[in-house]
Each structure stands twice: as C-alpha cells, then as structure tokens.
C-alpha cells in the first residue's frame, strides 16, 4: 500500500513511530502458556491462527484471510489490506509455519497470490471485470492524490491511474462519493483511501493532485450551499497549500457553470460568463470561479504548477442515481416506465460527453504543458426534449413525457468550443452519445435490478442518498 504521511485538522504532531502504531495493529508477542490444553502451539499462535492452520493443512492450502480495516489516523480513516504480503521475506516467513514437506508448494501458491494482487483489481458487483495494472520503475511511478476519488468522475480517473501503475491516494468524505465505486482497488498495494474532508488540512507526499472534491449536481450542492462554497474555496486553498509545500502539480476540475446563462454560444475559455451571484446555483458557480482565481494567484505568486479543466455535462456508469441530472433522471424514469420529467419547455440545449472521454482529457491536461483553462466537453448539442425522446427510443420505454415549471437560473444553452483542447492538449471526444448511452443504460438497469425501484431526484431535492 502506498505510504502515507497524514496530518488532519489541528491534531498534535506525532513521531513516525507513533504514526506507525496508529496505522497498523501491533503483532501479538509470543508468551509462554501455563495451560495444559494449549501446550507449545498456543504459546506461539493465537487461537484463530491455529484454527486457520488446521483447516489449511486438511485442505492442502494455506488460508490467508484478507481483511478490510478502518484504522483511525488523527481523525481520518485509512482503508487497507491485512495481512498485506509485500515482500518475499514475509512470504517465506509465513511458509515456515507449515511442515517442511508442505512448505515448497505453499510458498509457490503464496508468491502467486502476491503477484496477482499486485497487478490487478478485484471484481465487484459494480465492476465485475478485472482491471490489470502495469509495473512501473520507480522513476516513472508517481504518487497521485485524487480528491473526490470515490465519486462518479473521480473513480473512473482512479481506474486509469491505477492501470497505468501509479500509486493512488483517494481522499473523499463520501457526501456524494460511494465506496462501491472504488471497492475493486481496496486490496491493491498501490491504492490508499483516506476518509477526509478537504476543508480541513491534510499532509501527504505526492507528485500530482487531481482536485475533484465538490458536489456537482444542483440537488447536492444546494442541500448545503455554505458547505459547497467552503469546499470550493477552503478545499482548493488547502490543496494549493499542499501543492506548494511538496512541489506537486495540481489540476482543478472547474465547470461550465462558471459561464452561467451564457450570452456567447458556443462558449470559449475567453468568455467571462453571465452569472447570477445571488441565485440558487451561485454557491457552486461562484465557488468555482473563486477556485480558479486562487489557482492562478498561487501560480503567479508562488510558482505552483496549475491546470484548470472546465467540464461540461458528463454521463456514464457510476453516475449517482439521485443526482437530478437529465441523463440519469431520463434513463431511470424510462427503464421504470414512469413519466419522464422535463423542467421547462425542453427547448434549452445541452451537450453530453461520455466519462471515458473526460478522463482522457483530464489526464492529457495534467501531463501537458498548457496551463490556462481548457473546456472539456462534447460539442454535439441536443435540446432537452430531443434528448428525452432519444432515451425513450433507446430504452423502448412506455413512459410519457411530462413538462414541469422551469428551474430558476437554468441555462438556456450550453455548448463548449473545444478548439483550445484540440490545439493545446490534442484532445477531442471519441465516444458517440449513442454508444455512451448504451453503456449507461446497461449500468442503470443493473442498479435497478439490485435496488428494485429508484425515485429520481428533481430540482427541489435535498440530501443525496447513500
């Protein structure tokens, strides 16, 4: 597992030894037993170890359980794997618990298990496929922090970085993130998860920071607008402070919402926007605008390497079913043959990019030389009404389309100009909306099969469900 150096909040400083004692449980010191029933065996092994060894000898295998632990570290929790076999010496030491005749075969199996765990993810219900990882030499492998890495976009980004062979640390407070999105990596030695709120300081040693932490859909960011502003401002300030201290490059995922209800169409990065500073969406819009300002202030004053991605509407597997966006709402309603709700006349336009395209864009931007804001979105434009009818047709639904009053400050049009992305980082979308929708519909069908029923979330929704 990637090594962590953590300091959250105002906890007192601790020595490396104290941190180690908090991170990993202490091994039980062998003591001599006076019990006549235990004998020498109980003096060396715990009762659990004896039982496991007995079962192992009967079956011809050694059972090495994998535990998921929550270990408190200065107010945070780190998820890891126990026992974690990371060295050949440790594997050999474990094999010595067996009779001499069984050691060779057991050692071979243990080494095979170690190699498998070090080079692939584990299949889960939401990610049944196994994801293979590369082995990078030390001078190519990076330690990468992804805030909001358990969320929709963040978890797909984590998949890419892990498959490339990097060490990845996810920081998430699970307000909208879901543990199942990253469950397939929890046992991998290159992966670490820290449950932490970015509005509090954290100390890590990293090479790159992808700062995605912030609720991004109206029902979620409007549930606690003050916290949304704090996440965008204080969270970004803390990540910039970390980037400055450890000389890491930092990428902020900003948003097309900074353009507000645009009077320029399509929107270029040079457009300053048309934002209502006191409207219900302003906590998110203005928070991201301030975050961008902070990024370039740190760049100009402290020479921090910064990247800013302005993300347009994105969809794909792992979308939160209650995020209130048109893609998730339409698909869930259509699959359940419930009325498909459109807020307004449906004439407002949107562009939709598939999540894998966005991840490629974020990666290209982070590792390129261009350091000014870049639009990442699909320039194909649909009216909301046409998009609803498209989903209706693809799902072969019996739903009817229902029109409800338009939400306040809902943009009338949204479409990116991606000329900068093409010219500066060599990126443009590759997945068509049709192909992306097929995968997303399959995903939500599996979610519905498991949940039984999902009630979509509208503009007036409150706290997201877990």
By annotation, the residues acting in catalysis are: 284
As a whole number of Å, the CA-based R_g of the chain is 25
Nearest to 343 by CA among 412, 281, 272: 412
Count of CB atoms situated within 10 Å of the CB of 198: 25
CB 375 within 8 A of CB 416: yes
Q: Which has the closest alpha carbon to 168: 200, 199, 131?
A: 131
């Amino acid at each position: 597992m990637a090594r962590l150096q953590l300091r959250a909040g105002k906890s007192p400083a601790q020595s490396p030894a104290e941190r180690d004692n908090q991170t990993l449980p202490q091994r039980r010191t062998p003591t001599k037993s006076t019990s006549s029933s235990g004998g020498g065996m109980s003096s060396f092994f715990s009762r659990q170890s004896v039982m496991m060894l007995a079962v192992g000898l009967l079956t011809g295998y050694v059972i090495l359980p994998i535990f998921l632990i929550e270990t408190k570290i200065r107010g945070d929790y780190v998820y890891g794997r126990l026992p974690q076999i990371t060295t050949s010496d440790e594997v050999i030491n474990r094999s010595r618990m067996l009779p001499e005749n069984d050691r060779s075969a057991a050692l071979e199996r243990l080494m095979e298990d170690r190699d498998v765990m070090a080079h692939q993810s584990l299949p889960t219900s939401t990610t049944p496929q196994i994801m293979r990882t590369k082995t990078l030499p030390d001078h190519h492998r990076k330690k990468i922090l992804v805030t909001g890495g358990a969320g929709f976009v963040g978890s797909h980004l984590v998949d890419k970085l892990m498959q490339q062979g990097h060490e990845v640390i996810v920081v998430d407070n699970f307000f909208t993130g879901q543990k199942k999105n990253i469950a397939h990596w929890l046992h991998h030695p290159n992966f670490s998860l820290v449950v932490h709120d970015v509005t509090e300081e954290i100390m890590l040693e990293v090479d790159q920071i992808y700062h995605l932490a912030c609720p991004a859909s109206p029902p979620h960011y409007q549930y606690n607008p003050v916290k949304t502003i704090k996440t965008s401002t204080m969270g970004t300030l803390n990540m910039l402070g970390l980037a400055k201290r450890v000389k890491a490059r930092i990428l902020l995922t900003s948003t097309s919402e900074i353009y507000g209800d645009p009077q320029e169409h399509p929107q270029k990065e040079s457009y300053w926007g048309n934002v209502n500073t006191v409207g219900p969406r302003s906590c998110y819009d203005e928070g991201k605008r301030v975050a961008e300002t902070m990024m370039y202030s740190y760049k100009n004053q402290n020479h921090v390497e910064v990247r800013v991605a302005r993300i347009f509407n994105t969809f794909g597997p792992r979308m939160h079913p209650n995020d209130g966006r048109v893609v998730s709402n339409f698909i869930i309603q259509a699959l359940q043959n419930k009325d498909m709700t459109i807020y307004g006349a449906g004439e407002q336009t949107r562009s939709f990019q598939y999540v894998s395209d966005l991840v490629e864009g974020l990666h290209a931007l982070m590792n390129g030389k261009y350091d000014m804001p870049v639009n990442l979105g699909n320039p194909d434009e649909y009216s909301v009404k046409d998009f609803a009818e498209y989903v209706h047709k693809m799902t072969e639904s019996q739903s009817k389309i229902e029109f409800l009053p338009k939400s306040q400050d809902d943009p009338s049009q949204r479409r990116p100009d991606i000329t900068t992305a093409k010219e500066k980082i060599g990126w443009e979308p590759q997945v068509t909306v049709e192909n992306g929708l097929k995968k997303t519909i399959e995903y939500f069908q599996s979610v519905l099969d498991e949940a039984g029923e999902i009630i979509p979330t509208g503009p007036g929704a409150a706290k997201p469900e877990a």
